Structure 1
């Protein structure tokens, strides 16, 4: 099947503007840009060296990567990720079709425009809050344009969320075609050599990735007009970038575009025109022009080169049509034989973008669940008649839940309000993916002899953060819901806590604990059930000591039993610990580093020990606290604050939050209006 590169009409339309510029800026980002152009931090973007002629458009700053230095980067504290890349394991697959050791999945995602993308979230819930990390092996922070900048560093919340789930994140280097504003000089700038024959921009790219805490670069050289000499320079640059990156634990992915002649000619295959670039990189995204035959030959060529065929990502363009896209899945991940190569999903944020105005977080997650899991919405029971081959059908899920203490409040990284202990402490919508929890990897696997209830992330109420898990259905037979695949060591002191409530109907709850894995792919988890009693109408925390169990906990879930009448049961938190529920140490030295009207920049010293994130609250004149935000960084920006009536000074409280969501004592800083 020859797949037309329809993405190019979106990627390059508008002359000097590329893909990300066509995605509307979130209203909050635009408002912030107008309110505090000098204080609002944004995700960073650069040209390699020389800048365009003329002047940048509103809200755009032209910068040269060659002149970048970490010590001069005033926004670095807001943009540097802090969560290390977690190790993952692969549990027994939830179904019989998902493979272990086969194809992997890469996603190229544009989260926001190149310019004006806030560093640490924004006051809107309308955001691509990716949660199905368990099927991903690589995320590319897609974007760039000839009118804004060509090199994008991922912002910290995305990297922190991805790393929590074991997914590396790559920045993007985009050299656009001449017809759409690309300049061959920018390619020459990227591959320029110094007097010693080295490539200074390769050194700079590695320095940025190290300083910002992400995992490497996606190189997309599509500016035509080059020659074999330029291709030789590009190969030398790529080779040095790979060597420098490997020494720092970083990776490089090459896009099938430039060939050994220096021309841009998308091959849709790994062949003699591009294999030298593949050999100089860790992996290659194969352009959408692939055919079944070209993928078979590409996989064979990779193995002849001593490489893994799954280091090739076959492009699947889902930007325009999502799960209705025409993709020959049998050419990539055939159901009845070994996978041919890996999958490269181009722009899966369609699950958000195709929804109409007024879309809610619930609307988005319903669409996103279908995209990643399939029409059945249950990875343990794929729909065999579904034309869309969702990643859960072909690829085994992974998990990072491997150590105690572990806790989740099922926070997806955005919400309509902010909750603490079941109370609303901010009624503003928000997004910040860095606050996202480790989320269940196989959503939502339910086993029942009766009618299957619906299971969703719900935003109408929460115990902590912005969301909870809602189970809604008749429960005419007991239903077991898989929550987490784990590898948690059990001791005599190990305790599991569930915070839950019943919104409607009568439901009896049991904790499901498995100390071994299923008998095989698609088989049920061999749970032991521990009664928790009937759920009440208010939030309650049920505590279970795993007395008598030994070894390793392989899975955690719940079994719900009702009387056949409609039931709405909500899960707000789950925690596993050994009874040592120590509060984290407090941060220190909070200061306000910048203030313009009600727009404030905060900074502090991180607390010693294990800290999940920090929270910032405003103390109101009546003594109550209002949540302003949280972050994994040591700096935070708050826009648009105003004094309360008669208020001359405002006190802000900063706290460290531990893995079990216990908070430190506050440290305070005061602002005078």
Structure 2
């Protein structure tokens, strides 16, 4: 399952000699540890300790994603431990069919107001209605685009794409007069100059764990620079293949082999040299069907490596755009090419955010039949249908099936309707001689099964999976199923709603689907890792926000086998009265570090101390509940400078 995954599963891990110590970082060693608990003693100080502006918002100290603006910045780039927030923790999930199959692909090029908006905040933002993308099943490659020289995809996009088997590319772009000067600086001279740029771009993709680059040179080039450009592209491609397994370099249709800037809207002899040096060509948008007809002979066996551009904003003389984007896509598919959908954020920017989800579903629904889907092909599979946005937090392909499956379904009928039955149905496809329980499926056919829910959990699972077979006080019902299979591929999962007794009278009802899980039952027997050992660094104190309060910011970091956890919930305790024992959820981390920002805590009385506790709860891939004894715990004891109290 390594796909686009590179060395080191946890983004909190240091990567050998690549890392340099971060400047001006204060860290605190534990005073004592006991059963996963770390106790730190800290004296409140208001002395300024600015954090690096590249990785942290200077107003709030929240960790942020960033870009590089100059050639000097690119060549000087070296990662520090502060960059760990930006490292993708999700490996590129295996998929069927593989990305490099010959079928036409779909690329989406993100272009939302030059990028790095709310999505730059790695731990989330307070925006109630940001732009989001959630039709991952329809696309194969996602390009994060901006007009900065080096666009590094925000880690939130990389994790979401990888979870859905979609490769993520950054952008290397030069434009206008300044872009021409920059190209002369690294392309017009010796090979060492463009080799250094290729090496740095390869290192950046490797370190932050994304999958390659879209290269866009939109300025004229001198004869020397134009001659070296294909060599630079080949060099970059070689660096990526060495550093990033499955890495891609795509070329945007812009400058010609002669160095002239002239968009061709097709693959032809004037730009073919760049196509041959890369993994694919992204054409400009002002094409007609005759361009597509000509390109067939040029592309040969590489039809799928030609990504025909579609501008959803319909700027210039283009086919389709907006809610007529399907017209362009239909012609592209007719001629067997891949598609590059540019700026689908038109739905959000042009139509507004008030009805965004409705309009977004309409836009992609019009394209769906022209967008072949891909299937995730590894377990565990779990979804709670979350879009990663909103105003509240709610708690409660073909899969080669292992011999034993455990399934979990969480649902809620809004009204008490005893006549409505809810059941889980699955279909299997024979991959030899398929047996489900004692039933043998017919060869080559898709067979339907309705498993019976477990009345109670086996003893070894009762402590890990809570609530099976019981209804919560809020009305949510969790049903659990266990299946034994042999030589089967899991094909589909469906929710079936029916009446216990057939009737002609219509009965209206509402059923909310909360979560579906498909797990390898044998994996639930494996032992859990020990509790994370927490440490803290970059502790900052400020006055306020209320009377007798302080504002606390700090970075928590820990170690944990990332292959076993899909995320971590961060809690605190002991900062609020009159219920200091109640846990408060601070946020969710996908890496093994988290920045606590502006936490209001009591101000300690003179010569006395206070304490606040932080907990890190691993959320395992299988979704099983981790007992609190296996959470990481850190107790921060803080006092005024005159205090000598101990915890």
TM category (shorter chain) comes to 0.7 to 0.9
Map 1:235-250 onto structure 2 (within 5 A): 235-248=230-243, 249=245, 250=247
Partners of 1:549 and 1:243 lie apart in 2 by 43
Match of 1:213 in 2: 209
Residues 202 and 494 of structure 1, relative CA distance in 2, 3 Å threshold: same
Deviations along 1:1-59, whole A, 9 cap, x unmatched? Answer: xxxxxxxxxxxxxxxxxxxxxxxxxxxx9xx94623xx333222113425xxxxxxxxx
Match of 2:566 in 1: 612
Deviations along 1:167-215, whole A, 9 cap, x unmatched? Answer: 110001121233xxx4422222443655757620000000000000000
Which of 590, 610, 628 does residue 535 from structure 2 map onto? 590
> Is residue 300–residue 309 contact of structure 1 (8 Å, CA) maintained in 2?
no
Match of 2:363 in 1: 371
Partners of 2:336 and 2:485 lie apart in 1 by 46
> Is residue 57–residue 63 contact of structure 2 (8 Å, CA) maintained in 1?
no
Residues 531 and 610 of structure 1, relative CA distance in 2, 3 Å threshold: closer
Partners of 1:395 and 1:207 lie apart in 2 by 33
User: Matched residue of 2:225: which SS?
Assistant: helix
Match of 1:494 in 2: 405
Match of 1:316 in 2: 310
Residues 550 and 230 of structure 1, relative CA distance in 2, 3 Å threshold: closer
Deviations along 1:292-335, whole A, 9 cap, x unmatched? Answer: 111121232011xxx4111111111114663245843442123x
Match of 1:80 in 2: 87
Match of 2:264 in 1: 267
Q: 2:609 matched to 1:667?
A: no
User: Matched residue of 2:598: which SS?
Assistant: coil
- Size of the aligned set, in residue pairs, is 514
Which of 514, 521, 525 does residue 572 from structure 1 map onto? 514
Partners of 1:658 and 1:111 lie apart in 2 by 33
Residues 649 and 370 of structure 1, relative CA distance in 2, 3 Å threshold: same
Residues 254 and 120 of structure 1, relative CA distance in 2, 3 Å threshold: farther
Match of 1:295 in 2: 292
Partners of 1:110 and 1:584 lie apart in 2 by 41
> Is residue 85–residue 591 contact of structure 2 (8 Å, CA) maintained in 1?
yes
Match of 1:172 in 2: 171
Structure of greater relative contact order (alpha carbons < 8 Å, 6+ residues apart): 2
Structure 2 unaligned segments of length 5 or more: list them. 1-52, 315-320, 432-444, 456-468, 543-551, 640-647
Instruction: Give the C-alpha shift of residue 355 in structure 1.
Output: 4.3
Instruction: Give the C-alpha shift of residue 644 in structure 1.
Output: 5.4
Instruction: Give the C-alpha shift of residue 400 in structure 1.
Output: 1.0
Match of 1:543 in 2: 480
Match of 2:592 in 1: 634
User: Matched residue of 1:163: which SS?
Assistant: helix
User: Matched residue of 1:418: which SS?
Assistant: coil
Deviations along 1:205-231, whole A, 9 cap, x unmatched? Answer: 00000000000000011023x232221
Residues 139 and 548 of structure 1, relative CA distance in 2, 3 Å threshold: closer
Match of 1:284 in 2: 281
Partners of 2:116 and 2:372 lie apart in 1 by 36
Partners of 2:188 and 2:533 lie apart in 1 by 44
Residues 131 and 195 of structure 1, relative CA distance in 2, 3 Å threshold: closer
Deviations along 1:262-284, whole A, 9 cap, x unmatched? Answer: 12100001011110011111011
> Is residue 175–residue 221 contact of structure 1 (8 Å, CA) maintained in 2?
yes
Match of 1:151 in 2: 150
Q: 2:394 matched to 1:419?
A: yes
Instruction: Give the C-alpha shift of residue 510 in structure 1.
Output: 1.4
> Is residue 239–residue 281 contact of structure 1 (8 Å, CA) maintained in 2?
yes
Match of 2:134 in 1: 131
Structure-2-length-normalised TM-score? 0.73
| Greater CA drift, 109-118 or 564-573 | 109-118
| Greater CA drift, 106-115 or 620-629 | 106-115
Match of 1:106 in 2: 107
Instruction: Give the C-alpha shift of residue 570 in structure 1.
Output: 1.0
Match of 1:25 in 2: none
Which of 352, 370, 377 does residue 394 from structure 1 map onto? 370
> Is residue 94–residue 377 contact of structure 2 (8 Å, CA) maintained in 1?
no
> Is residue 308–residue 338 contact of structure 2 (8 Å, CA) maintained in 1?
yes
> Is residue 227–residue 257 contact of structure 2 (8 Å, CA) maintained in 1?
yes
Map 1:467-478 onto structure 2 (within 5 A): none
Match of 1:187 in 2: 183
Instruction: Give the C-alpha shift of residue 527 in structure 1.
Output: 2.4
Partners of 1:265 and 1:486 lie apart in 2 by 44
Structure 1 unaligned segments of length 5 or more: list them. 1-28, 51-63, 92-99, 375-389, 421-462, 464-484, 519-523
Residues 176 and 196 of structure 1, relative CA distance in 2, 3 Å threshold: closer
Map 1:410-559 onto structure 2 (within 5 A): 410-420=385-395, 463=396, 485-491=397-403, 493-504=404-415, 506=417, 507-516=420-429, 526-530=447-451, 538-546=475-483, 551-559=488-496
Deviations along 1:565-590, whole A, 9 cap, x unmatched? Answer: 22110111122231653555432233
Larger C-alpha radius of gyration, 1 or 2? 2
> Is residue 48–residue 190 contact of structure 1 (8 Å, CA) maintained in 2?
no
Instruction: Give the C-alpha shift of residue 608 in structure 1.
Output: 6.4
| Greater CA drift, 508-517 or 281-290 | 508-517
Map 1:22-33 onto structure 2 (within 5 A): 33=57
Partners of 1:326 and 1:611 lie apart in 2 by 40
User: Matched residue of 1:612: which SS?
Assistant: strand
Match of 1:346 in 2: 342
CA RMSD in angstroms comes to 3.1
Match of 1:162 in 2: 161
> Is residue 78–residue 120 contact of structure 1 (8 Å, CA) maintained in 2?
no
> Is residue 214–residue 251 contact of structure 2 (8 Å, CA) maintained in 1?
yes
> Is residue 220–residue 254 contact of structure 1 (8 Å, CA) maintained in 2?
yes
> Is residue 585–residue 607 contact of structure 1 (8 Å, CA) maintained in 2?
no
> Is residue 134–residue 165 contact of structure 1 (8 Å, CA) maintained in 2?
yes
> Is residue 128–residue 352 contact of structure 1 (8 Å, CA) maintained in 2?
yes
Partners of 2:425 and 2:374 lie apart in 1 by 20
> Is residue 536–residue 554 contact of structure 2 (8 Å, CA) maintained in 1?
no
> Is residue 517–residue 554 contact of structure 1 (8 Å, CA) maintained in 2?
no
User: Matched residue of 1:75: which SS?
Assistant: helix
Match of 1:442 in 2: none
Partners of 2:571 and 2:114 lie apart in 1 by 29
